[in-house]
């Protein structure tokens, strides 16, 4: 996998960005933020949810996101690539007659068979992502959580081992080419928590072996606590702890110790990711959610823009 100096602009001016991470790390917010940032650079962007049962992007942008790309802001579109609709598109490209396609997919047994074919669901989803990447300047995909995302990205190779001819083989080839394209990048989103960092490292190791042509140049450490406490302040916290204070002093001590633990956890996470993955890491501070999801996404986009050395427009 690619391991080189990387700038957030390389994502924004690429072709496909795949985003994954353990559930709850904020990957959908990162997806939306990258979309906002790319759209601000004048790129025509489509945010894609990969077969989401309930659209998270709908909640973030305050509008219903369906299967067909929908304009949600200037230069920015969103869609949810659901299985049955994607299957319908996929079969239409194999069978030229729409009437026959409708008859086939209206048959419950046919749908069950197609759903049961190994790798079919994943290849159909990747095929739709491939086709959308031809319609937009950039597509950013909110993948499922790490385990399911890994299976999705390994599916083309597995399918090609099962079928060496036919439409599934052809579409798997197309999907594999998309994953190996130099302008396709996977972003891993993590939190400064031990279990999350463990899963991030495991995901990277699995993909490094299973999809070696895929570029994974960036980890975004979300909700990081950058160092704010100096040596004197840490020493003060230790003295206060020894004194076992009460009242307001106890509350102040609790807040200080909590901040110290968060900063320590962030430091450990950065160290482990640097040591075991070795790709570029961007740490994003904790941001307020008080003003709603869209305001959080805009703040996150601005924070990501500030990490670039290429002068990205931060206004989103």
Mean pLDDT of 86-104: 68
Instruction: Indicate if the pLDDT at residue 115 is higher than 80.
Output: no
pLDDT at 2: 42
The alpha-carbon radius of gyration of the chain (Å, integer) is 22
| Domain parsing of the chain, residue ranges | 8-225+280-306
Q: Which residue's structure tokens are 């937009």?
A: 136
pLDDT at 1: 46
Q: Work out whether the CA dihedral 172, 173, 177, 178 comes out positive or negative.
A: negative
Nearest-angstrom CA–CA distance, 68 and 229 = 49
Nearest-angstrom CA–CA distance, 79 and 179 = 20
Cβ contacts of 177 within 8 Å, gap of 6 or more: none
pLDDT at 123: 86
Banded model confidence at residue 165, pLDDT cuts 50, 70, 90: confident
Q: What residues form DSSP beta bridges with 283? A: 221
Please give the class, per CATH, of domain 8-225+280-306.
alpha beta
* Integer CA distances (angstroms), 292 to 20, 90, 93, 221, 314, in order: 22, 37, 41, 21, 19
pLDDT at 168: 79
Three-state SS string over 259-271 comes to HHHHHHHHHHHHH
Largest CA distance in the chain: 81
Percent of the chain with pLDDT strictly greater than 70: 79
Please state which of the ranges 17-31, 171-185, 205-219, 234-248 shows the lowest mean pLDDT. Answer: 234-248
pTM of the model: 0.86
Instruction: Indicate if the pLDDT at residue 92 is higher than 90.
Output: no
Mean pLDDT of 77-103: 76
Residue-wise pLDDT for 195-213, tens only, equals 999 999 999 999 999 998 9
Average pLDDT, the chain: 85
Mean pLDDT of 39-51: 95
The strands making up 184-190's β-sheet, listed across from edge to edge, are 70-73, 76-81, 45-50, 138-142, 16-21, 184-190, 215-224, 280-285
pLDDT at 65: 94
105 or 184, greater pLDDT: 184
Mean pLDDT of 282-293: 86
Instruction: Indicate if the pLDDT at residue 287 is higher than 90.
Output: no
Helix (H/G/I), strand (E/B), else coil: 134? coil
């Amino acid at each position: 996998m690619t391991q080189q100096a990387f700038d957030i602009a390389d994502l924004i001016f690429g072709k496909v960005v795949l985003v994954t991470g353990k559930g709850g790390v904020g990957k959908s917010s990162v997806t939306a933020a990258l979309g906002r940032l790319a759209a601000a650079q004048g790129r025509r962007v489509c945010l894609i949810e990969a077969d989401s049962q309930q659209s998270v992007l709908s909640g973030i942008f305050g509008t219903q996101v369906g299967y067909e790309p929908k304009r949600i802001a200037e230069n920015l579109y969103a869609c949810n690539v659901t299985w049955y609709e994607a299957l319908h598109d996929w079969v239409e490209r194999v069978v030229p007659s729409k009437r026959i396609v409708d008859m086939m997919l209206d048959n419950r047994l046919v749908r069950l068979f197609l759903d049961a074919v190994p790798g079919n669901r994943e290849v159909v989803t990747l095929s739709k992502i491939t086709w959308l990447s031809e319609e937009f300047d950039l597509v950013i995909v909110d993948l499922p959580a790490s385990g399911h995302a890994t299976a999705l990205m390994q599916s083309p190779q597995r399918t090609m081992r099962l079928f060496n001819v036919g439409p599934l083989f052809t579409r798997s080839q197309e999907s594999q080419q998309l994953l190996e394209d130099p302008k396709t990048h996977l972003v891993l989103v993590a939190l400064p928590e031990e279990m999350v960092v463990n899963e991030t490292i495991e995901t990277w190791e699995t993909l490094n072996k299973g999809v070696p042509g895929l570029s994974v140049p960036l980890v975004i450490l979300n909700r990081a606590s950058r160092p704010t406490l100096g040596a004197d302040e840490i020493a003060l916290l230790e003295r206060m702890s020894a004194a076992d204070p009460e009242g307001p002093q106890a509350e102040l001590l609790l807040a200080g110790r909590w901040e110290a633990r968060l900063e320590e956890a962030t430091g450990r996470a950065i160290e482990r990711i640097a040591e075991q993955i070795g790709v570029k890491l961007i740490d994003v501070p904790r941001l307020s959610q008080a003003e709603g999801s869209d305001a959080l996404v805009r703040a996150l986009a601005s924070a990501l823009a500030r990490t670039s050395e290429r002068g990205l427009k931060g206004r989103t």
